[in-house]
Amino acid sequence: MAAGAIFNPRPSINNLMLGSTIGNYEVVSQFGEGGMGELYLGRHTRLAREVIIKTIRTEDFSPRQIEHLRDRLEREAFIQSQLDHPNIVRVYDFVAIGDATCIVMEYVPGRDLRKMISRETGPIAASRAIKLFKQVLAAVDYAHHFIYQDKSGERHQGIIHRDLKPANILVTPEDLVKVTDFGIVKVRGVKGGTQMGFNPGTPEYMSPEQARGRDLDQRSDIYSLGIVFYEMLTGHVPFEDDGSGTSDYEIRRGHIELPVPPLSKYYPGVSPELEKIVFKALEKNPDDRYQTGQQFLEVIEEFEQTGLAKFTGRMPGARQTVVHADRGAGRQSLAEAPTVGISETVITDPNQPFTNTATYNDNSKNLTARISAPIAESKPRGAMFREPRPAKSKAPLAVGIAVVALLTLGVTYWLITGSTPPDNPDTGTPLQAPVGMISISGGEFTMGRNDGNTFEGPAHPVKVDPFFIDKTEVTNTDYAEFVRQKRRQAPSHWPEGNFAPGEATFPVINVSWYDARDYCEWKGKRLPTEEEWEFAARGKDSLLYPYGNTPKAQCSNSSEEGLNKPRTVGSYPCGASPFNLLDMAGNVAEWTFTDYKPYPGSKAQPVEGKVYRGGTFKTPRAEQTTTDRYYDVPTFAADFLGFRCAKSVK
């Protein structure tokens, strides 16, 4: 893919004739559609070189606009042909013959970063994201310091891109990055540029000053790069259309006025230190950002070496940006944004407390930072009642009634769910589970086993905090409502976008990890961690199967049943776990929140992927253990894989 192309075979009035020759280039096929014109795959008639031929699409524009666009295309070619960097798409030629005006540029195999995130990876693992993003920084910093010569021979330094976004960043199969589409670049110190109502930039990636329509410098690109990095790590931009028709104005307002949401809102697995590095690029005041791409790069490389976010509050070279108080009345002035003095170096220690809003229980220490701001001595969770204090004005009868009521609540819960509800840490009273969920009181158990396969061991002690978890897997009916309300794509096996008759209470299948995560978040829940899932399945006695230590017939949907498909959730009550959860042995496997990594001391090799657990209707009964681990890329979906949700006890 090249130049942020979007494949679209729709012909236009100004299409080049396939098989024709323009200049020294044969038009081989239509390749796609860029922001301002058509894209074709071409071939040099004398050299063994494939190229992309970029033209102007003119049917929607007036003659004056067409003239402007042709001038712009020539300007793009003139500027970009002088750029010579391994991470920038090369421009080879500019051709203007008759009505045809084209730029001929380097063909880059692969896809753009936008498609990579949306179709392949979702949030990109931090190590890979950093590797890719460092190449983007190198390209943009090169352009910011590039000595440009215009057609009059006058020289200028620095090119501002003004539309940096994943669609303009190409990634090859070897993870080589190429930045493209310098068609709306601004040459620093040269007036003019994009005119006639063509507003440069894309709202989701605009800096606050760009959203206000102010003059820009290279620090606007730094902000846009911060948005790109945010999206690489989370799969989302901080200000976006939430599906309810959010306007461009509202998105721009977010950049100008609203705080950037923590990365944990979308993906809790990002290091708090790395989050600080991203937030530095997203300061509202340009003076408080990295002043150059090189500064941004150096901070990231320091993080790679030490795990620390180390930078000064105001980067060297920052100048005071003056914002007039009478502009944007009622909003905080950019100049009023809080800053840290230049002499105050911020060095954070990963061993020190860090406050994070994520609610995932992180027992494996590889998901999110724990909430570890100074906390007063915690109250005991184990006791259902506190030691009574001397009564002052309370009648003994009232105390007795309260005790009986609490006992009745606890016994009733146990009779219904078969498990003891966790205590409220503030009151010591039992917590009521949300409808359809089971309260798990937390505790220590032995995770894994030593007599299984390489991935299951070695056995090791794990402690989990109290949590809630769905009693059964999410059903087709549940998921259909999510599809309808959020306008999501239905699972691939649903005919005409709905589940088959008679399968309303079957567990939903053919959903990716991202689908499962988004559903749970829509419900105000989350995916369970792997530790939580195994504890809920085997209990404090670390059973090998949810129902005991030996396989039992008719306690799970296994290959011996011969159904070769899921059954209604809860069809095997004898297979209930010690906490009375159903279908954890068989029916469908279930996604967890956890990234796969070998257990401490394991000989298994580390790989990238999300863990899913539990047996399936295709699994022999004896192999439907509570300890077996599976993993795959988060885009994976299968007819044997579903999920259930969990919820933290707050």
- Indicate whether 270 pLDDT > 70: yes
Whole-angstrom distance, CA of residue 97 vs CA of residue 76: 17
C-beta atoms surrounding 416 within 10 Å:
11
Is 247 within the bounds of a domain? Answer: yes
Run of H or E residues at 359: none
- The pLDDT score that the predictor gives to residue 117 is 93
Q: Do the Cβ atoms of 532 and 538 come closer than 8 Å?
A: no
CATH for 26? 3.30.200.20
Is 422 within the bounds of a domain? Answer: no
**In 441-586, which ranges are E strands?**
443-447, 460-464, 467-470
Tell me, yes or no, whether 97 and 115 share the same domain.
no
Catalytic site residue from 93, 99, 141, 163: 163
Tell me, yes or no, whether 156 and 219 share the same domain.
yes
SS3 of residue 225 by DSSP: helix
Run of H or E residues at 171: strand 169-171
Highest mean pLDDT among 315-319, 340-344, 379-383, 452-456: 452-456
- The pLDDT score that the predictor gives to residue 580 is 94
Q: Cα 513–516–522 angle (5° rounding)?
A: 140
Provide the token pair at 171: 């990634």
**Buried b / exposed e along 159-173 (16+ C-beta atoms within 10 A):** bbbbbbbbbbbbbee
Write the pLDDT tens digit of every residue in 548-572.
999 999 899 999 989 999 999 999 9
DSSP 36: S
Domain final residue pick, 318, 339, 370: 318
Banded pLDDT at 359 (limits 50, 70, 90): very low
Banded pLDDT at 611 (limits 50, 70, 90): very high
Of 177-181, 193-197, 385-389, least confident by mean pLDDT is 385-389
- Indicate whether 346 pLDDT > 80: no
Tell me, yes or no, whether 469 and 554 share the same domain.
yes
Mean pLDDT value across the chain: 78
Is 392 within the bounds of a domain? Answer: no
Banded pLDDT at 390 (limits 50, 70, 90): very low
- 453-459 average pLDDT score: 92
Whole-angstrom distance, CA of residue 439 vs CA of residue 434: 9
SS3 of residue 221 by DSSP: helix
C-beta atoms surrounding 250 within 10 Å:
14
C-alpha to C-alpha distances, 558 to 474, 476, 573, nearest whole angstrom: 19, 20, 14
Tell me, yes or no, whether 57 and 137 share the same domain.
no
Tell me, yes or no, whether 52 and 170 share the same domain.
no
Banded pLDDT at 497 (limits 50, 70, 90): confident
Q: For residue 156, what are the β-bridge partners?
A: 148
CATH for 595? 3.90.1580.10
Run of H or E residues at 224: helix 218-234
Kindly calculate the radius of gyration of the chain based on its CA atoms and give it in whole angstroms.
29
Tell me, yes or no, whether 199 and 118 share the same domain.
yes
Tell me, yes or no, whether 130 and 86 share the same domain.
no
Banded pLDDT at 57 (limits 50, 70, 90): low
Banded pLDDT at 412 (limits 50, 70, 90): very low
Is 525 within the bounds of a domain? Answer: yes
- Indicate whether 413 pLDDT > 70: no
Active-site residue 163, yes or no? Answer: yes
- % of the chain exceeding 90 in pLDDT: 48
Of 37-51, 145-159, 351-365, 517-531, least confident by mean pLDDT is 351-365
Q: Do the Cβ atoms of 531 and 364 come closer than 8 Å?
A: yes
For the chain, what is the domain count? 3
Of 2-11, 226-235, 481-490, 611-620, least confident by mean pLDDT is 2-11
- pLDDT, greater one: 650 or 583: 583
Residue 61 backbone phi and psi in degrees, to 5: -125, 155
- 431-442 average pLDDT score: 89
C-alpha to C-alpha distances, 215 to 143, 162, 326, nearest whole angstrom: 18, 11, 17
Tell me, yes or no, whether 161 and 217 share the same domain.
yes
Whole-angstrom distance, CA of residue 516 vs CA of residue 523: 11
- Indicate whether 279 pLDDT > 90: yes
- DSSP of 102-130: EEEEE---SEEHHHIIIIIISSPPHHHHH
Tell me, yes or no, whether 534 and 474 share the same domain.
yes
Give 563's Cβ-side CA count (13 Å radius): 16
Whole-angstrom distance, CA of residue 136 vs CA of residue 537: 45
Which candidate, 486, 519, 569, 587, places its Cα nearest to that of 244? 486
Whole-angstrom distance, CA of residue 508 vs CA of residue 374: 42
Provide the token pair at 371: 């909430």
Whole-angstrom distance, CA of residue 180 vs CA of residue 184: 11
Domain final residue pick, 55, 85, 106: 106
- Indicate whether 146 pLDDT > 50: yes
Banded pLDDT at 383 (limits 50, 70, 90): very low
Whole-angstrom distance, CA of residue 646 vs CA of residue 591: 11
Banded pLDDT at 315 (limits 50, 70, 90): low
Is 403 within the bounds of a domain? Answer: no
Banded pLDDT at 316 (limits 50, 70, 90): low
Residue 54 backbone phi and psi in degrees, to 5: -110, 125
Provide the token pair at 622: 């004896």
- 3-state helix, strand and coil shares in percent for the chain, rounded to the nearest 5: 30, 15, 55
Of 22-36, 126-140, 547-561, least confident by mean pLDDT is 22-36
Tell me, yes or no, whether 458 and 485 share the same domain.
yes
Banded pLDDT at 277 (limits 50, 70, 90): very high
Q: Do the Cβ atoms of 69 and 36 come closer than 8 Å?
A: yes
Of 52-56, 79-83, 248-252, 426-430, least confident by mean pLDDT is 426-430
Of 92-96, 295-299, 519-523, 542-546, least confident by mean pLDDT is 92-96
Whole-angstrom distance, CA of residue 409 vs CA of residue 429: 10
- The pLDDT score that the predictor gives to residue 367 is 23
Domain final residue pick, 289, 318, 347: 318
Tell me, yes or no, whether 554 and 488 share the same domain.
yes
Whole-angstrom distance, CA of residue 46 vs CA of residue 573: 73
Tell me, yes or no, whether 188 and 164 share the same domain.
yes
Q: For residue 51, what are the β-bridge partners?
A: 42, 106
- 102-108 average pLDDT score: 90
Q: Do the Cβ atoms of 508 and 477 come closer than 8 Å?
A: no
Write the pLDDT tens digit of every residue in 391-401.
333 344 444 54
Q: For residue 94, what are the β-bridge partners?
A: 103
C-beta atoms surrounding 560 within 10 Å:
15
Is 330 within the bounds of a domain? Answer: no
Whole-angstrom distance, CA of residue 534 vs CA of residue 543: 10
**Which residue type does 387 have?**
E
- DSSP of 526-543: BPPPHHHHHHHHHTTTT-
Write the pLDDT tens digit of every residue in 214-225.
888 999 999 999
SS3 of residue 9 by DSSP: coil
C-beta atoms surrounding 7 within 10 Å:
10
CATH for 302? 1.10.510.10
Which candidate, 116, 83, 323, 114, places its Cα nearest to that of 92? 83
Is 30 within the bounds of a domain? Answer: yes
Whole-angstrom distance, CA of residue 428 vs CA of residue 385: 6
- 16-35 average pLDDT score: 81
- Indicate whether 389 pLDDT > 50: no
- 275-301 average pLDDT score: 95
Q: Tokens 């620390």 identify what position?
A: 308
- pLDDT, greater one: 184 or 26: 26
Residue 41 belongs to domain spanning: 21-106
Whole-angstrom distance, CA of residue 300 vs CA of residue 315: 14
- pLDDT, greater one: 447 or 23: 447
- The pLDDT score that the predictor gives to residue 129 is 95
- Indicate whether 139 pLDDT > 90: yes
Q: For residue 590, what are the β-bridge partners?
A: 613, 642
* Rama region for 591: left / alpha / beta (φ>0; ψ in -120 to 50; rest): beta
- Indicate whether 11 pLDDT > 50: no
Is 359 within the bounds of a domain? Answer: no
Of 162-176, 195-209, 357-371, 586-600, least confident by mean pLDDT is 357-371
